[in-house]
Amino acid sequence: MKKRISPVTFHYMIITAGFWSSFCVFVQYAAVFLQGAGYTNMELGLIMAVGNVVGAVLGPALGAWIDRNRNIRHAHVINVLLALQAALLILLRISPVKGIVCSVCFTLYIAIALPVNAVNLDLCVRLEHAKTDFNFGFARSMGSFSFVILSTVLGFLTERLGYRMLPFAGLAVTVLQLFGNRLVDRDLRQAEALLPADSTAVSARSTSLIGFFRENKAFGLMLFGTIFIYIAHNIDGNFLINVVRNVGGGEAIMGYLAAYTAIVEVPVMMFASRLPKRWTTVQYIRASFIFFVIKLLAYALAPNVPLLFAARTLQAPSYALYTVLIVSYADQVVDRKDSAKAQSLAFSMTNIGSVLSSLIGGRMFDTVGVRPTMLTAVAICAVGAAIAIAATFIRRSGTERQSLR
């Protein structure tokens, strides 16, 4: 890791801070907002599921469009998405009660907010190809750190001021993303202007989505396994307030717990470049899949608030490790012509997992309770981990890159 934070890393830190703060609002506090507005677990699960479905489709679609049109600036795409988010947040503040306006606006808010990260991840690859002085792991750690701060503040504020203040928080972080997006786009323009004209061009045309999976079978199977992992991961995340209430906590405890969960991610993300070199990227990713299972089991068995906090420490070798390495892994095993598609698909798997977790979790929390639901999540995660790990051992065909073993 470099001794100083370069300007481009600092600017990218702003957009990751903005996105993951936004994620805190529209995912971590979605249950608080929607339950406050009068929705049941099943109803809020349906809203989150539909929002994630649309977001999961929109992310790869935007990625494929950017791959086909490399003259399209990431900043332009993101600015449109953020402007739409701001409009929806204003409507949610005007109508923060159960009804058609609230349902449609919150669904669209999730759907439009999620693809921003997929575009940001491809922007990260573009910055690295442009030879900028850029440290993704360090920049991504600011996303978790900002999540810590906002989750703690929102837990305090919602318990005292109520759920209706959440759209204001969403608007604030939307403005932050707009500011950071402008700075990073300027950095990328300046870096690409210094490169030879042919170095920024993509020599081969981006493949279709079907063609992508045909050419990247092992990568596609690994992504399929991560769907199951993220179903389990999001059963906890999307309904965290239910897990916290089950051990005697409330909104403030949920905020502190979410903050603690995020803060344990920071060291792994910040110092990812210092991971021991005796393990390859793919070996670290396999280890993260195993820790996802162990983590969910610890969550399910935690009988009180202190042990639930202790269990959240396992977020570091599971989610944090996978998140910080999947970008470089995808860039190594997928051709550059499909880089945006690979990044958006990797993130979209988390969206699809969130869809299914919202449907499964919403019904199960209402019918069988917290402990059986969380143990079911453990079983689902184990299946996904087995598939994903097996996929990383498949020998790649001649059309796939041979960077990792």
- Is residue 311 included in any domain, yes or no? yes
Give yes or no for a contact between 55 and 110, defined as CB atoms under 8 angstroms apart.
yes
Q: How many residues does the chain have?
A: 405
Q: Which two tokens stand for residue 398?
A: 């001649």
CA distances from 113 to 10, 27, 54, 294, 336 (A): 22, 10, 11, 30, 25
- Is residue 260 included in any domain, yes or no? yes
- Is residue 402 included in any domain, yes or no? no
- Is residue 2 included in any domain, yes or no? no
- Is residue 369 included in any domain, yes or no? yes
- Is residue 404 included in any domain, yes or no? no
- Is residue 168 included in any domain, yes or no? yes
Residue 206 sits in a domain whose CATH number is 1.20.1250.20
Give yes or no for a contact between 281 and 329, defined as CB atoms under 8 angstroms apart.
yes
- Is residue 105 included in any domain, yes or no? yes
Give yes or no for a contact between 60 and 341, defined as CB atoms under 8 angstroms apart.
yes
How high is the pLDDT of residue 401? Answer: 45
How high is the pLDDT of residue 153? Answer: 87
Cα 304 from Cα 313, distance rounded (Å): 15
How high is the pLDDT of residue 129? Answer: 75
CA distances from 266 to 20, 22, 180, 300 (A): 13, 18, 20, 24
Concatenated DSSP letters for 371-387?
Answer: HHHHHHHHHHHHHHHHH
Q: Can you give the pLDDT of all 405 residues of the chain as single tens digits? A: 445 778 888 999 999 999 989 988 887 788 889 988 888 888 888 888 888 888 878 877 777 777 677 677 778 889 999 999 999 999 999 988 888 999 999 999 999 998 888 788 778 878 877 878 888 878 888 887 888 788 888 888 888 888 889 999 999 999 999 999 999 989 888 888 877 665 555 445 556 667 778 888 888 999 999 999 999 998 888 788 888 988 888 878 887 888 788 788 888 887 877 788 888 888 999 999 999 999 999 999 999 999 999 999 999 999 999 988 887 888 778 877 776 677 778 877 877 887 788 778 878 888 898 899 999 999 999 999 999 999 988 865 544 444 343
Whole domain around residue 86: which residue ranges?
Answer: 8-392
Cα 389 from Cα 285, distance rounded (Å): 8
Q: Count up the domains in the chain and report the number.
A: 1
How high is the pLDDT of residue 404? Answer: 42
